[in-house]
Each structure stands twice: as structure tokens, then as C-alpha cells.
Amino acid sequence: MSATSPTDSLPILKLRHGEDRRLRAGHLWVFSNEIDIKATPLTGLEPGGLVRVVTDRDHFMGYAYANPATLIAARIVSRSAAHPVGPALFDERLRRALALRERLFAHPSYRWVYGESDGLPGLVLDRFGDVVVGQIATLGMQRLKGEIEAAVRRVLGPAVLFWKNDSGARTLESLPAELELAWGEAPAALQVIESLADGRALHYRAPFTGGQKTGWFFDQAVNRAALARYVAPGARVLDVCSYAGAWAVTAMAAGAAAATCVDSSQAALDQALANGAANGFPITARRGDAFDVLAALAAEGERFDLVILDPPAFIKRRKEFPQGVAAYRKLNQLALRLIDRDGVLVSCSCSWHLGSEDLLGAIQGAARHVDRFVQLLQVGGQSPDHPVHPAIPETRYLKSFFCRVTRE
């Protein structure tokens, strides 16, 4: 079914009795067990096709795209019967999302579209000046890719649009990993500008195709900007799971005397060193598994005034929770050993399945184990270019705790 087909010809997806409450509260997902399969058999829905979602009493709930082969069988794109899925809707959503980011950020370096929170489920667009890197995670949005591309041209008209569709989420929708240049000439690297709290700008380069996510972790930008107040003059800083070194460079700009980046990727460390040099700061690097390097640093008698932990998600599925919590506790325990006197730990988690209290409990448990006293000073979340949808808890995932650490 084409996205521009007349709405009255769209297939109906009917909900079971009482299964409209969550949608009325604002959620956008329809799970397969919420569908009246007698009235609308899932096998009759075209994978990735558009549907009209209605209640058991035929009240309109929204236009959605469907995937009968997945647990989330449909995702609502429009709640208004007068605004079907098509060019006008995409233009409006992209303009509205762009207006927010342009109001929030001094430089064109941000997440332009954050999926459900911007009314475009399954779509991520990150802006690097005149380059836009996108990711599509769902079959329905994949089928709408051509219309999204056209809307990106109309609304922003960037020189480059590149699809970095290699996320693990695509496997759940039976989508292949693919890298595709929609238009433009591939740049040698992505250019990122982040502002400090005092207005100064830091300039970074990130890999165009070989980097993590879309190339940069914009979600931590606001937390990095908040770091300056916790950097003591002349501090020694350890940036663990550093990727391209943004935390380390920010700390150096705030007055740290030395910063060491730890990552398992040599390419990431090379980029971190280059980013430090580009901003006028000599940074050192240590390659290896974070757990192993932290243990080795402790054995060598190394100590730091500020340690940042920004690891990848240890818990990607609910069943991984016990092992994941143990991993967060161990990582924090190893880091706390390296803070010998009055120092600061910044401990982060991007695991949605790990709640804030779970991470805080892991930090406190680790502190008790190594005879450290921890005071929570500040709680950070994802940057405002990753707005939280109040009805969709899954859109709120990042936790960043700024903690003072002393001896017991």
C-alpha cells in the first residue's frame, strides 16, 4: 500500500476491547496481543503497509504502519484523521523538530529527529552541519524512506544525506544492514561542534562510516557541558569507553592537567588523540577492555581526580538484567579504586532496562565494597535533542550520575 493512497482504502487494524487505553494515554505502539485477530487477522496485513487503527467500537485511533511478524505489530504515525501519512505530514514533523533544535543549539550539531518523540517512529536523523546521517529501524519506515528523503530535501536541503542502517534493531524487523549515500559526496569525516557552559566551542571530527551509532553520541552533550564545574584545576582525568574523546577534551578545556582515554578500539583512540590535538590539548590513550585496563591501572598505583564511565549498554534485553547489573557494579567498583582522595565519578548507563535507582544502587554497592563514601551531586539525562515522550518510557534511557568520592 502506498503512503499516498486514499485513506479510506487503507486496511483496518481493530483493537480488542479495552486495549485502547494505553494509546489514548499517548503511546504509539500496538502490540500483537492487543489486536482483534478475528476482525483483522494479522496474516491479512501487508508487512510495512499503512493501516487505520480503530477501537473495538470503530473509533479512529490513528494512522500507523504495520508489521504482523513482530511483537510491536503497528506504530502510529498520525493521530489526526485529517492528517494522513504523506508528504505534508513529513514536512510538518521535520520542520517542527528542526525548529526545536535550532532554538536549543548554537551550532548545527544535534539529533534532528528522535523517533517516536518527534512523531516519526523508527527514524533517527543526526545533523552534522550540512551533512545528515540517518538510521531506519523498522520495516514500515523503510518503506517510507523515499518520502522521508524528499521531505529532508524540502525542509533542510543538506549537501549530503547518508543512511547508516546497520543497527541491531533492524534484525528484529528482518531488515538487512546497509550503508547508502542518498545524495551528495561522502565527506572525509563528520564535523561536530559542542558548546561549553561558558559559550566556548569545542570542535571534533568523527568517522563518517566506521563510527558508532550515526558517528557521534549527541545524547551526552548536555552532560559534557555540565562537567566543567566538577573539574578541579590541574585534575587528572580518566575517560573510560571514550570513543572519540569528547569527555576528555571537555575536561581539559575546563582546566584539567591531564586526560587519558580508554577504549577497546584503536581507531576510536586515534580519533580521540586527534580531537585533543585539534583543540590544543595533549591527551594520552590506553587501548583495551575497560575492566582489564581499570584493574591494571589500580595495580600500577595510578590515581585520578575525575573518572568518567560511559560504557555501551550492558543490558539490551530484560533477561540480561542480573548479569548487566553485576557488570555495572564491577565497572564502578574498579573505577572507585582509582579515586584515592576527594574526587569525582561520573557514571553513565544507556541501558533502558536499568533504572536510575538500579544504577545508583550499583554505584553505592561498589562504594561500600572498596571503602569509599559517595555523595550524589547531580543527575543528568539525555540532551534535549533526545526529548522524552511522557507516554513512552522507552524514549528515556540515559542516566548520568555525578558523584563526589571520598574515603570512608
Would you state the cell numbers that stand for residue 368, as one nine-digit string? Answer: 561500600
**CATH numeric code, 207-407:** 3.40.50.150
pLDDT at 5: 46
pLDDT at 7: 63
pLDDT at 9: 85
Residue in this structure with the C-alpha cell 566551542, named with its chain if needed: 201
Q: Which of 241, 348, 350, 403 is catalytic?
A: 350
Predicted TM-score (pTM) of the model is 0.94
What's the 3-state SS for 131-181? EEEEEECCHHHHHCHHHHHHHHHHHCCCCEEEEEECCCHHHHCCCCCEEEE
The H-assigned helical ranges of 156-289 are 169-172, 221-225, 246-253, 266-278
Query: Please, what is the Cα angle at 269 between 265 and 270, to 5 degrees?
Result: 115
pLDDT tens digits in sequence order for the chain, 408 residues long: 444 445 668 999 999 999 999 999 999 999 999 999 999 998 889 999 999 999 999 999 999 999 999 999 999 999 999 999 999 999 999 999 999 999 999 999 999 999 999 999 999 999 999 999 999 999 999 999 999 999 999 999 999 999 999 988 899 899 999 999 999 999 999 999 999 888 899 999 999 988 888 899 999 999 999 999 999 999 999 999 999 999 999 999 999 999 999 999 999 999 999 999 999 999 999 999 999 999 999 999 999 999 999 999 999 989 999 999 999 999 999 999 999 889 999 999 999 999 999 999 999 999 999 999 999 999 999 999 999 999 999 999 999 999 999 997
Alpha-carbon span 116 to 388, nearest angstrom? 9
Q: Which helix or strand (DSSP H or E) is residue 344 part of?
A: strand 343-349
- Is residue 403 part of the annotated active site? The answer reads no
7-78 CATH choice from 2.30.130.10, 3.40.50.2000, 1.10.3720.10, 3.30.365.10: 2.30.130.10
pLDDT at 6: 53
- Residues 6+ away with beta carbon under 8 Å from 373: 367, 405, 406, 407, 408
User: Which sequence spans correspond to the domains of the chain?
Assistant: 7-78, 87-183, 207-407
- Residues 6+ away with beta carbon under 8 Å from 152: 94, 125, 132, 134, 158, 161
Residue type, 303: R
Positive or negative torsion for Cα 328, 332, 335, 337: negative
In this chain, the answer to whether the domains covering 7-78 and 207-407 adopt an identical fold is no
Query: Are 230 and 308 a contacting pair, CB within 8 Å?
Result: no
Its CATH architecture, for the domain 87-183, is 2-Layer Sandwich (3.30)
* Phi, then psi, of 185 in degrees rounded to 5: -110, 130
